[in-house]
């Protein structure tokens, strides 16, 4: 399982649609200051369901939509699609390629899709549970996160091991059953 493609349109500095293709090895994103490297990482977090504008380096969710420049009008909609190669069937879904999409309008309303079918944010969470992928998964290690992991409380650190060992889904199901 690996990240295969990232399509971004109207998100932060990317007004025009861009299509980033990744291979199964290591990819580095390089460029001058302010060229949008961190915006690419933000797009990955965002499409996986990030709800905190602050984590995305903004103050409100609308800040992720292209705000316009001197020469170009602001946009009304941001959309990011992330495609994962699932030929190993690590994700619990029959498809060999899985694309998750998130769209947001200036009204603040978000829509999520799995392989172009409208779904809930909860479905995205469930799809990636126990895979390390997801907005809080260890597949995204932000600046300062390593220090945070080392200095965090033992119960919080335990979450990381639970996710890696694949028991998180059982915990979530248990919590949901107890709520009913
Ligand atoms: P550094 O090397 O300094 O870390 P970077 O390549 O990571 O730089 P980013 O932080 O990804 O750069 O990009 C910052 C740029 O994105 C800024 O020029 C900022 O104006 C632009 N930007 C952020 N949000 C939006 C938005 N909503 N609309 C238009 N441009 C935006
Ligand atoms: Mg940066």
Taking only the tens place, the pLDDT of each residue in 116-166 is 999 999 999 999 988 888 877 788 888 777 887 888 888 888 888 888 888
Looking at residue 162, its pLDDT comes to 86
Does residue 109 have a pLDDT over 90? no
Give me the mean pLDDT over the 61-82 stretch: 96
ipTM: 0.98
Report the nearest atom of ligand 1 relative to the CA of 31. 6
Check whether 28 is labelled as a binding-site residue: no
The whole-model pTM stands at 0.90
Task: Kindly list the structural domains of the chain, giving each domain's residue range(s) and its CATH number in brackets, ordered by start.
Answer: 2-120 (3.40.50.300)
Q: Does ligand 1 have an atom closer than 6 angstroms to the CB of 45?
A: no
Q: Residue 30: nearest ligand to its CA?
A: 1
* Packing angle, helices 154-165 and 168-179, rounded to 10: 110
Q: Does ligand 1 have an atom closer than 6 angstroms to the CB of 21?
A: no
Q: Residue 56: nearest ligand to its CA?
A: 1
Q: Does ligand 1 have an atom closer than 6 angstroms to the CB of 59?
A: no
Rounded Cα distance between 62 and 58, Å, is 9
Q: Of residues 33 and 149, which shows the higher confidence score?
A: 33
Does residue 100 have a pLDDT over 90? yes
């Amino acid at each position: 399982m690996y990240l295969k493609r990232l399509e971004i349109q109207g998100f932060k500095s990317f007004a025009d649609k861009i299509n980033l293709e990744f291979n199964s090895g290591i990819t580095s994103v390089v460029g001058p200051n302010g060229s949008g490297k961190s915006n690419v990482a933000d797009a990955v977090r965002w499409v996986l369901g990030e709800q905190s504008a602050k984590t995305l380096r903004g103050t409100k969710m609308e800040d992720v939509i292209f705000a316009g420049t001197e020469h170009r009008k602001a946009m009304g909609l941001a959309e990011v699609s992330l495609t994962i190669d699932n030929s190993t069937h690590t994700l619990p879904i029959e498809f060999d390629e899985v694309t998750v999409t998130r769209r947001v309008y200036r009204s603040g309303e978000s829509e999520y899709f799995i392989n172009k079918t409208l779904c809930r944010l909860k479905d995205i969470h469930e799809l990636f549970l126990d895979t390390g992928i997801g907005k809080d998964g260890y597949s995204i290690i932000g600046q300062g996160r390593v220090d945070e992991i080392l200095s965090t409380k033992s119960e919080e650190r335990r979450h990381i091991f639970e996710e890696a060992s694949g028991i998180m889904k059982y915990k979530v199901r248990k919590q949901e059953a107890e709520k009913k």
